[in-house]
């Protein structure tokens, strides 16, 4: 019998929440990981905690503010939300790499998640006596290469290459022959398809937060808000995270 276990990188947004719900339905034993990396606001972390509670999975919130200080050439960690692109069309959003790109963020995030997952898996092998061949560990990410903001670390080829790096650089891969898979199940879906899938899964997207800015309600104009709104509109679904009209 294969032991399917994994760590999902939870940002508190629509995509990672859908991926977490999808992994749970597929029968994976899931733990959540959320990195607070010095972004503009804490709404993402609050949303990730709410999502984990609703999905009934454990969540580790890691203070990684040092990363935002080091990878500082980004409008998401610069401390001033006025530098976040605003009012762009969906077509313009996919052109070039925007100022919201955080240098090598996904490389860092997946590596941290993989380190935690390798430790969990080595414990299963070396302390609990589980046969390596019975294990199928995976890092689950909410990356999307269709309706995305021009980030180079949201493409399939990036994750394929990173998976090979993890195989070569880990004890699991080099000694036990156990590959740490990187699962990106929505990478080829449009935002409309992601919204539909989230509803079909019963994912708790009503508590998610996608806006790059903080505040009481989404700004509606940043790239992330625009893509999310376009997706729900195309799917013909009312976004359950938005406040009801007064």
Percent of the chain with pLDDT over 90: 82
Q: What are phi and psi of 31, to 5 degrees?
A: -120, 145
Average pLDDT, the chain: 93
- What was the pLDDT predicted at 93? 79
Mean pLDDT for 204-217 is: 93
pLDDT at 55 over 80: yes
Pick the range with the lowest mean pLDDT from 7-21, 89-103, 107-121, 215-229. 89-103
Measured CA to CA, the distance from residue 91 to residue 216 in angstroms comes to 28
pLDDT (tens digit, 9 = 90+) per residue, 58-95?
999 999 999 999 999 999 997 677 789 898 887 787 78
| CB-based contact 190:231 (threshold 8 Å) | yes
- What was the pLDDT predicted at 165? 98
Arch. (CATH architecture) of 3-235: 3-Layer(aba) Sandwich (3.40)
């Amino acid at each position: 019998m294969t032991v399917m276990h994994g760590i999902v990188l939870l940002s508190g947004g629509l995509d990672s929440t859908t991926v977490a719900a999808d992994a749970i339905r597929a029968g994976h034993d899931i733990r959540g990981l959320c990195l607070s990396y010095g972004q503009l606001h804490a709404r993402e972390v609050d949303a990730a905690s709410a999502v984990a509670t609703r999905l009934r999975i454990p969540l580790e919130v890691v203070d990684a503010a040092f990363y935002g200080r080091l990878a500082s050439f980004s409008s998401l960690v610069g401390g001033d939300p006025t530098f976040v692109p605003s009012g762009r069309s969906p077509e313009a959003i996919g052109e070039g790499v925007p100022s919201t790109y955080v240098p090598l963020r996904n490389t860092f995030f997946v590596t941290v998640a993989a380190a935690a997952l390798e430790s969990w898996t080595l414990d299963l092998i070396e302390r609990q006596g589980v046969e390596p061949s019975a294990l199928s560990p995976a890092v689950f990410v909410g990356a999307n290469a269709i309706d995305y903001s021009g980030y180079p670390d949201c493409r399939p080829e990036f994750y394929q290459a990173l998976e090979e790096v993890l195989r070569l650089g880990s004890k699991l891969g080099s000694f036990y022959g156990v590959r740490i898979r990187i699962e990106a199940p929505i990478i080829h879906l449009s935002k409309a398809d992601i919204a539909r899938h989230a509803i079909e899964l019963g994912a708790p997207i009503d508590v998610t937060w996608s806006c790059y800015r903080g505040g009481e309600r989404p700004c509606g104009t940043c790239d992330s808000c625009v893509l999310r709104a376009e997706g729900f509109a195309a799917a013909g679904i009312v976004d359950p995270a938005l406040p009801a009209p007064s």
